Structure 1
């Protein structure tokens, strides 16, 4: 929405503004509904507060994340410098002493939602970071915590937003500034929650069902039986020896090892533009969607991804074998065919997946790897389409697949 030149305070039709402060509130409502990036929202919010005459020297936010790698996003803004910190806190990061001695840690562990310190008038500050702020010339600081209602299982984590704000005005924030801040910051937190909730949903869906499938689901394709037919290269990869190891290894070590192998299998596919459709215990089903004009090129890309999978697992096995750790082999089958891609399931529980004869066939081709003493098999249908890869593949004859009427020709890597 553009700004009305005659009345610059009218920006949001849902909340007509009558003065500069209400214009800020209207802007926050608009941004919360539009879904802009939290980083950009925070930066502009700090700038707009400054434009209102608020002597804001520093603003900082930490936003909880529901993400497989990231536990929180952190941003810091300083007047005259803009955004000076833009970082992700990983689940694997080990907190330092600074965290345990911080006001944030104190507030979260004691269920405190608001903390205020007058930096220039309090001679004995109770947190080292506030002493640093005072030494930098800041005079006033307060922190607000907003719980988004994301009930994390770990009681030490809070699902929401932690914000802190500091002034360098002599005497600190004025009463008028506090009036604006105490109204604007909760609106800012609500806008962040609106943006973060959608992005969290997208992150969770991408984590569990893949980026392309997540996009389809979030675009409203959630009706049972809603499917589309696509032509795709299918890759079925399965680890060898996992079942035997599962009887002898501690569970924690077993899962860590499995994750390590699956990462080496999945990463080459995702980097090549394919999509992991399923993690099935110790295996994966992946697909490269085809278009008529790109079929040979996509087949070649898929085969390159397979070679990188094989090489990655081989190097992993070399490293683990050298250190005396257990290893697993990898069998891979590649096929091509029409599959149905969409929602299948009960009225209340759906799975967004691929079904069809080609899916069954690629899994049964993989089973023959042991019989034919190889770690790779490709179907004749794939070889016909992969015209640029035929010199890499050699026939090993026709073989029967369980449940398939006619034997099919299979190929090895030459």
Structure 2
């Protein structure tokens, strides 16, 4: 978002007229929060605008909580004359170091203190090592303000409810002036509100992508949430299932069982996601995924089918590698069975008035699961339907017929193919 566009906002927005420089700053923050500017860009330009407004800001830092399966928080640091100098993601698996426990942030969070101010005057005794470092670098004043977003969950990395930690430092002799504090005391909360607005949508998208997949999340966020709203698509269907999981679940401790399952599902899901396949569901120890046949072009169909076949090979290789590692440390292992099918399915919202599932339904979905159930009987780890082979032609040349077989709930026997 450019400066010219931002400055002209007060002329475009009838419900907010900027009468002075502070009003222009607030108008820009409101516009940025409503239009969804990235938080890192919002923060960077906010710091730059404060300096242009006359606030002698030397350093700014924010840490923003994240609701994400891997990342617990994002941190950005800005310095005058250098711009954004730190862009750090904190993972859930990260173990805080001694610096965190000795920081003013940890002190404030554990004692529920939302605001802390420390003049960085020479000779003063400072109670946090990082503030001594700032003073030695020539900074003269520092304060921190924390905003709780009210999302109501515990974030282990920040040790508080989700929100925003901000800190600001000046190198003006004597520290921040009264006028600078007056500007900051009004501007920073508006910045926090804009950051929350942006983070709320990105959090929703992250959560939807985590639980229902990237493409499906995009459809839901675009407003496709009406019950019974479905589209028909033609797709390659992949159904994969781990053999022996049910037996192992009765003999392994819960924590170890979940860790084992996650490891296997990782090796199964990664090849699908790497080529743009859509994982629709994790069903216990299984996966249902689709590769949409978006075009009638024969070459494109062949490429998609070949991609699906290649994915099954990579899934098998990944599980085999994992099994070798687990056997080396005397851990139980599982094998993988996969089925491939192709057909028209209905893709959309199904459920009750208040609880919907964005999924695929139709005979082809039931059939692919029935095909996978025959892997053991056919002595194969990959079984494909005749429909898949006929649709994919050259791409399925490596598969050989196993004859016709009955599928539970399907009236006519269908021809099945296996990979040697």
Structure 1 runs, 4 residues or longer, greater than 4 Å off = 1-5
Q: Does 1:369 align with 2:380?
A: no
- 1:349: which partner in 2? 355
Q: Which moved more, 1:95-104 or 1:394-403?
A: 394-403
- Aligned pairs, how many? 413
Q: In the alignment, what sits opposite 2:141?
A: 140
Structure 1 match to 2:108:
107
Aligned equivalent of 2:212: 209
CA shift digits 1:308-333 (9 cap, x unpaired): 10100011001111111110110000
Equivalent pair of 2:141/2:175 in contact (CA under 8 Å)? yes
Alpha-carbon distance between aligned partners in 1 of 2:143 and 2:187, rounded to the nearest angstrom: 14
> Is the counterpart of residue 404 in structure 1 residue 404 in structure 2?
no
Partner of 1:152: 153
Q: Does 1:77 align with 2:73?
A: no
SS in structure 2 at match of 1:10:
helix
How far is the alpha carbon of 1:12 from its aligned partner? 5.3
Report if aligned partners of 2:383, 2:416 keep a CA contact under 8 Å in 1: yes
**What pairs up with 1:170-319 in 2 under 5 angstroms?**
170-291=173-294, 292-293=296-297, 294-319=300-325
Distance 1:63 1:138 in 2: 24
Q: 2: CA distance between counterparts of 1:372 and 1:11?
A: 72
For the 8 Å contact 1:11–1:23, the answer to whether it is kept is: no
- Listed one character per residue, the Cα deviations across residues 56-77 of structure 1 (whole Å, up to 9, x for unaligned) are 0000000000000000000000
Deviates further, 12-21 or 376-385: 12-21
Cα distance in structure 2, aligned partners of 1:388 and 1:81: 57
Equivalent pair of 2:231/2:347 in contact (CA under 8 Å): yes
- Indicate the residue corresponding to 2:27 in structure 1: 26
Distance across 1 between alignment mates of 2:18 and 2:381: 68
1:325 aligns with 2:331: yes
For residues 126 and 416 of structure 2, what CA distance do their matches in structure 1 show? 74
Judge conservation of contact 1:37–1:195 (CA < 8 Å) in 2: yes
**Structure 1 residue 373 displacement after superposition:** 1.4
Residue number in structure 1 paired with 2:58: 57
Q: Which residue of 2 aligns with 1:10?
A: 10
User: Could you tell me which of 338, 343, 351 is aligned with 1:337?
Assistant: 343
SS, match of residue 374 in structure 2: helix
Question: What are the ranges of 5 or more consecutive residues in structure 1 without an aligned counterpart?
Answer: none
SS of alignment partner, residue 386 of structure 1: helix
- Gap change, CA 1:375 and 1:3, over 3 Å in 2: closer
Instruction: Indicate if the aligned counterparts of 2:385 and 2:415 stay in contact, CA closer than 8 A.
Output: yes
- Summarize the Cα distance change of 1:56–1:154 in structure 2 as closer, same or farther, 3 Å threshold: closer
Superposed CA RMSD in Å reads: 1.6
Output one character per residue of 1:279-326: Cα deviation in whole Å (capped at 9) or x when no partner. Answer: 000001000111212211111111111111010001100111111111
TM superposition shift of 1:10: 3.4
Offset at residue 385 of structure 1 (A):
1.6
Q: Which moved more, 1:60-69 or 1:389-398?
A: 389-398
Shift of 1:387: 2.4
Q: Distance in 2 between matches of 1:211 and 1:351?
A: 15
Equivalent residues of 2:154, 2:161 under 8 A apart: no
Distance change in 2, residues 1:412/1:9 (3 Å)? closer
What secondary structure, in the 3-state scheme, does the structure 1 residue paired with 2:160 have?
coil
TM-score relative to the length of structure 2: 0.96
Question: How far off is 1:247 after superposition?
Answer: 0.7
Q: Secondary structure at the match of 2:150?
A: coil
Residue of structure 2 equivalent to 1:118: 119
Indicate how the Cα distance of structure 1 residues 311 and 9 shifts in structure 2: closer, same or farther if over 3 A, else same.
Answer: closer
Could you tell me how far apart the structure 2 residues matched to 1:122 and 1:150 are?
Answer: 41
For the 8 Å contact 2:9–2:28, the answer to whether it is kept is no
